[in-house]
Amino acid sequence: VILIVAASGVGKTLAGIQVTVEDAKANGGRVLFFSLEMSDEGIFFRIAIQESANLADDNGYVSPKHVASALHQDPELRGRINEECERLLIVDDIENMHEAEQYIALAIEELSNHGEDLTAVIFDYGQMLGGMEDSKIGPKIARSLKPIAKRFEIRLYMLLQTNKTFGGGRPTLNQIEGTGGWRQAADYAMILWTHSSLNNIIHAAFDKNRWGLPGEEFAFIKNGLKLSSIDAVPEDENPLDKEGEY
């Protein structure tokens, strides 16, 4: 069970889609994506922006108009986007974890019939599940994750939004309702945050790592909606080095 935790607008969905799709591509499988906030059209356009990172300006922003134009003119771009989208099986109408479990079982059965595997399941985002905000129901949902992951032998990603009352900066699991349940359920909990001076840099750290030491920090640079490791950025173009923050 992997948690991805961040404040609103930092990049939870971006990170979740990219990590799970790359996982699926590496293992020749599919991802079951429970989109509790966005429509499938919205997810398609996010992936289109991800694959159009070369259109980003100096601040990492990609204009939707430029993406729409590129989609019309560039068959190679359309092919890449279709390949990414084909990895995702999108469900946007579940109410609770019981329904989610039924969808997971169905997806595994249908994919198996076609010689394919389900490599990961992702919930975007957890607080949109029915009852999650209830102080009694929320921890029960958290505790249900591990049995589901074990039953289906699958990686399960849960995206979580921090409580807005805590303000900005680096978040922690303590900023989520039902902290004890989430911490117990997670094998990994990755937290994401940005600084106002460099909002195209997403900082990350493991708040929990069941098989290692938590706390190590790393970072990604965001071009449009595509994340790249800071290590992959040429040294003379690394904005963190220029700002002396990393």
- N residues, the chain: 246
**Model confidence pTM above 0.75:** yes
- The per-residue DSSP string of 21-84 comes to HHHHHHHT-EEEEEESSS-HHHHHHHHHHHTTGGG--TTS---HHHHHHHHHH-HHHHHHHHHH
User: What are the average pLDDT values for consecutive 10-residue runs of the chain, which has 246 residues?
Assistant: 87 86 86 85 74 64 74 79 82 86 96 94 82 62 89 92 65 70 86 76 87 78 71 45 40
Model pLDDT, residue 246? 36
Residue 155's pLDDT is 92
Q: Contact at 8 Å (CB) between 47 and 81?
A: yes
pLDDT number for residue 59: 61
Per-residue model confidence (pLDDT) at position 143: 83
Tokens of 119: 């490599």
Helix locations, 114-238, DSSP H: 137-152, 179-185
